[in-house]
Amino acid sequence: MKMVFRWFGEGNDSVSLKHIGQIPGVEGLVWALHDVPAGAEWPMDKILEVKKQADEHGLHIDVVESVNVHEDIKLGLLSRDVYIENYKKTIQKLAEVGVKVICYNFMPVFDWIRTDLFKELEDGSTALFYEGSKIENIDPMDLVKKISENSDLTMPGWEPERLSHLTKLFELYKDVTTEDLWDNLKYFLEEIIPVAEKHDIKMGIHPDDPPYPIFGLPRIMINRENIKRFLSLVDNPYNGLTLCSGSLGANPTNDIGDMVREFADRIAFAHIRNVRIYENGDFIETSHRTLDGSVDIYDIVKAYHEKGFTGYARPDHGRHIWDEECRPGYGLYDRALGIMYMWGIWDSLERQK
């Protein structure tokens, strides 16, 4: 298992490369060009700037998260081919600097959704929280108004500058069915995967978060059955998974350890984190420790160990602890603790061989 750590770039992250390099076992960064809009070709000078920064601290840049997929591709519009060509060119450029994995998602409109970025836990730490009653039965066409009126709804990446696009997007998705989304994903994969294989980069799709439909929008990467269907769309080892235990784990019927054991040879990237699910289906993110949440982190790490996993893994979201001021879910301290928890499990399993 190769341990990596997500970094949002100088001036855009409270965590320094120096601090990341001090976490035991961390070999590289998980990075992206966050100022490049979805669908645009990534400029080589900006890619090389990140590589230079990482090299100066002895860290590799093997994993990119994410090269975002333009909505026109998900919608299946005629304009999608232009954005797919830009995606192919970006893959080629990333290969030139040694990138081995690209994480992406195929979630319509929104990536992960939370209703509270700093919900307090019993110990006084805070974490990302999802309260279903604030999401369910909301007319998506009213959503823009609710956010504009300073609602406590939080739509990551959509406020304030992208807010004006929501109404148009909801209109475009109004008649898009789940099967339409599957078809559009297959079209994208058939174009992209041969290019990824040629340049020795594995594509790892991220599950939907949370793993069920939101605002009437179709969501497809939600469970074991759909993962199997996804992998069969283009049956190629370069068409792989970013298996996120927290995203899939928000549905208690998903057994993440079993998924690791079944799909290990197609997992390009492992996101390991924990959530606590309440009786009404709400959930909050917790420490990585198994006993603190509803996801069996011990069994997940054990499954990766059993399968001899040599891919990339990172601690996903963490709590905000010790009064750290940070990007929601991405503080240094709790993610570093999560790494040490995972290494503790891994090392103990190594001793049992």
pLDDT, tens digit, 9 for 90 and up, residues 94-113: 999 999 999 999 999 888 88
Catalytic-role residue among 298, 316, 334, 341 = 316
Read off the pLDDT of each residue in 214-231 and give the average, rounded to a whole number: 94
pTM: 0.94
Catalytic-role residue among 288, 305, 317, 320 = 317
Structure tokens belonging to residue 248 = 């899939």
Task: Return the pLDDT at 155.
Answer: 55
- Catalytic residue flag (residue 333): no
Catalytic-role residue among 13, 62, 255, 271 = 271
More confident residue, 193 or 144: 193
Model confidence at 216, pLDDT cuts 50, 70, 90, reads confident
Distance CA 58, CA 326 (A): 24
- Catalytic residue flag (residue 244): yes
Task: Return the pLDDT at 10.
Answer: 87
- Catalytic residue flag (residue 317): yes
Read off the pLDDT of each residue in 23-47 and give the average, rounded to a whole number: 96
Distance CA 210, CA 202 (A): 24
275-277 and 267-272: which strand pairing?
A: unpaired
Catalytic-role residue among 62, 72, 130, 206 = 206
- Catalytic residue flag (residue 206): yes
Task: Return the pLDDT at 55.
Answer: 97
Catalytic-role residue among 330, 333, 334, 341 = 330
Alpha-carbon distances, residue 319 vs 39, 280, 335 (angstroms):
32, 22, 8
Which range (5-19, 179-193, 254-268) has the least confidence?
Answer: 5-19
Task: Return the pLDDT at 324.
Answer: 95
Please check the confidence at residue 157 and state whether its pLDDT lies above 60: no
Model confidence at 168, pLDDT cuts 50, 70, 90, reads confident
Catalytic-role residue among 60, 62, 104, 244 = 244
Delineate the domains of the chain, giving CATH numbers in brackets.
Answer: 2-351 (3.20.20.150)
- Catalytic residue flag (residue 271): yes
Read off the pLDDT of each residue in 260-266 and give the average, rounded to a whole number: 98
- Catalytic residue flag (residue 57): no
